[in-house]
Homo-oligomer: A and B are copies of this chain.
């Protein structure tokens, strides 16, 4: 799957990738759009969507579709996991968490040729636990 599916290195594409890598917030497409717009005021949301899709297919970024209705994107493509708060929806990295999944080589499963895996924990974040008024 990783293989270039685009031909030109446009400024838009570069800035989208740079800003996504710089942010550590797993932004949605619109959040990233707002960020990118500070450098390229004329860019359109459609272009952001198109490029995120291409960059994801090329394996340069990760599309995190498991955190709610709106997709989130991650510029960090090395293996790492996430925790999501079921109350406020906040999503953050789990640094240095080790599982046997990382050590085990899994090439096939159920007849599928396995390319990778995603692991997400869910629970209640410190902030939401403190304000247990809700």
Binding site for B on A (CB under 8 A): 1, 64-69, 71, 83, 85-86, 92, 94-95, 97, 99-101, 106, 108-126, 129
Measured CA separation A111–B127 after assembly (Å) = 9
| Residues in B whose Cβ lies below 8 Å from that of A100 | 99-100
Q: Check B119 against A124 for contact (C-beta < 8 Å).
A: no
| Residues in B whose Cβ lies below 8 Å from that of A124 | 112-113, 115
Residue of B nearest to A121 (CB): B117
| Residues in B whose Cβ lies below 8 Å from that of A118 | 66, 118-120, 122
Q: Check B83 against A110 for contact (C-beta < 8 Å).
A: yes
Q: Check B94 against A121 for contact (C-beta < 8 Å).
A: no
Q: Check B99 against A99 for contact (C-beta < 8 Å).
A: yes
4 nearest interchain CB pairs?
A66-B66, A114-B123, A112-B123, A111-B126
Contact of A71 among B69, B94, B108, B123 (CB under 8 A): B69
- Chain B nearest CB from A24 CB (Å) reads 14
